[in-house]
Amino acid sequence: MTESSYQEREQSELKHYAIRLYLEAATRILGSVWKTLKYVDCCAGPWNSKQNDYGDTSFGIAIDVLGKASVELSLRGKTPQIGCLLIEKETSPFSELDRFAKEKNTPSISVDARNWNFVEHTAEIVNFCSTPNTFPFILIDPCGWQLAGISQIAPLLRLKPSEVVINLMSSFITRFLMDNTTDFSDLLGEDFPELRSLSGRELEFAVVRKYCDLIKREGGFGYVCALPVMKPKSDAFIFHLIYATRNAKGVEVFKSVEKRTEEQTHVVRARVQQRQRLESSGNMELFEAPVKYHEGKYQQFVAVSNRERAKTQVLELLKSTHKVLFEECWAEALQFSSVYIEDLRSWINEWETAGLISISGKKSPKEVLKRNVGHLLQYHH
């Protein structure tokens, strides 16, 4: 990724960084198991692309990753069929998309473009993804929030097996939520007016979790995670990438993606801040961009808000059930943004030291807690 490709749209740089990491890991894992992989980009564009090969678009990145995965898998004796469906409803960008699809369509990777409003063609998308022994990846990245409504995407959420990534424009939603003339029931449930009593970080968090809970319920997913992406020039989040899976391994992959994207966020924002200083002063700087980097909200969001929420949620789970397997605590905690397994283990250690809980199933006192080995937490108060 280069400055020229993403200048003034660094949020897309971070989104594409996360999508690339996710697809690289997921295709190599699932391509070893399934005979066919399908990729669907429901709102492909292209929009604001500055690279001739569309390497700064979600669909360009996906085709690149899938092509490389196909080669690597073949070297391991795995030859899954790969099919891509790229969808765009606007005529002008679709002409570019269609030309790209035809150029990339090969015997090893089938690439097809459709000039559709995807919500009107969910039956066709489901049919495309429902061939035998097939695992589909669905990307829903609309311009705005209307096309992310639960009822509109429900048929795609119910695909089994599948994994889904949705770009939730959380900043737009929180901005317009106080408008009594706007109905958010399809996005946030019939009780969405209750959210209007909240503000600031509490409102932002509640909107994202509410949407995640509805996605989880509608699609029968075991896990739904949210990856926050910041605005490049201010300490505010612009959107969240919502990831839904039915497999714990998928959560491990996505949390790794989240952590690396969090690190990349600071690199990108440091670069933007340096560019702003140079534009303001006209003076070159002696130090690299990260030296003078400043941010507040991400660390506040991580240290004060989400980790405390996740910690409270896990403790409430223990209090309500008294005996809980470690993997159940893991599933509860890691669905919170910027919360990782190291955080969960530290909380459990704290509670065990304080005598709030005991742990059975460990072969030795120093054994690291893991999933699916019988580690059981029991609450005592």
Per-residue DSSP letters for 357-379? EEEES-SSTTPPP-TTS--EEEE
CB 158 within 8 A of CB 219: yes
Token readout for 376 is 């059981």
Q: What is the mean pLDDT of residues 262-266?
A: 88
Q: What is the mean pLDDT of residues 33-41?
A: 98
Predicted pLDDT of residue 324: 96
What does the pLDDT look like over 12-24, one tens digit per residue? 999 999 999 999 9
CA angle 302, 242, 5 (to 5 degrees): 85
**Which residues have CB under 8 Å from 335's CB, separation 6+?**
212, 223, 224, 225, 226, 251
Residue 329 has, within 13 A of its CA and on its CB side, a CA count of 33
Higher per-residue pLDDT: 279 or 251: 251
On whether the CB atoms of residues 138 and 159 are closer than 8 A, the answer is yes
What integer pLDDT is reported at residue 338 of this predicted model?
A: 87
- Residue pair 331/313 in contact by the 8 Å Cβ criterion: no
What average pLDDT score do residues 211-231 get?
95
Q: Where are the alpha helices (DSSP H) in the chain?
A: 3-6, 10-30, 58-75, 91-104, 122-129, 150-157, 170-176, 185-188, 200-219, 248-281, 297-300, 307-321, 326-333, 341-353
The answer, yes or no, to whether residue 159 has pLDDT greater than 70, is: yes
- Residue 30: CB atoms within 10 Å: 21
Asked if residues 147 and 43 have their Cβ atoms less than 8 Å apart, the reply is: yes
Arithmetic mean of pLDDT over the chain: 91
Domain spans of the chain?
3-270, 297-379
Which amino acid is residue 297, in one-letter code? K
Report the pLDDT value the prediction gives residue 296, as an integer from 0 to 100: 58
Asked if pLDDT for residue 6 goes beyond 50, the answer is yes
Return d(Cα 334, Cα 331) in angstroms, integer. 6
φ, ψ dihedrals at 205, nearest 5°? -60, -45
Question: What pLDDT, on a 0 to 100 scale, did the predictor assign at position 303?
Answer: 52
Q: What is the mean pLDDT of residues 188-205?
A: 93
Residue 34's Cβ-count burial label (10 Å; 0-12, 13-18, 19+) is middle
Percent of the chain whose predicted confidence (pLDDT) is above 90: 79
- The reported pLDDT for the residue numbered 1 is 39
Average pLDDT of 77-83? 96
Higher pLDDT pick, 3 / 304? 304
According to CATH, the superfamily of the domain at 3-270 is Vaccinia Virus protein VP39 (3.40.50.150)
Report the range of poorest mean pLDDT among 39-48, 54-63, 216-225, 299-308: 299-308
pLDDT at 287: 46
Distance of CA 222 to the CA centre of its chain: 15
* pLDDT tens-digit map of 276-318: 767 666 565 444 545 454 565 555 555 568 899 999 999 999 9
What local confidence, expressed as pLDDT, does residue 276 receive?
73
Q: Given this model, what pLDDT does residue 278 score?
A: 72
Of 53, 54, 56, 118, the closest CA to residue 86 belongs to: 118
Are 88 and 94 in contact by the 8 Å Cβ rule? The answer is yes
Given this model, what pLDDT does residue 147 score? 87
CA-CA distance, 252 to 309, in Å (whole number)? 20
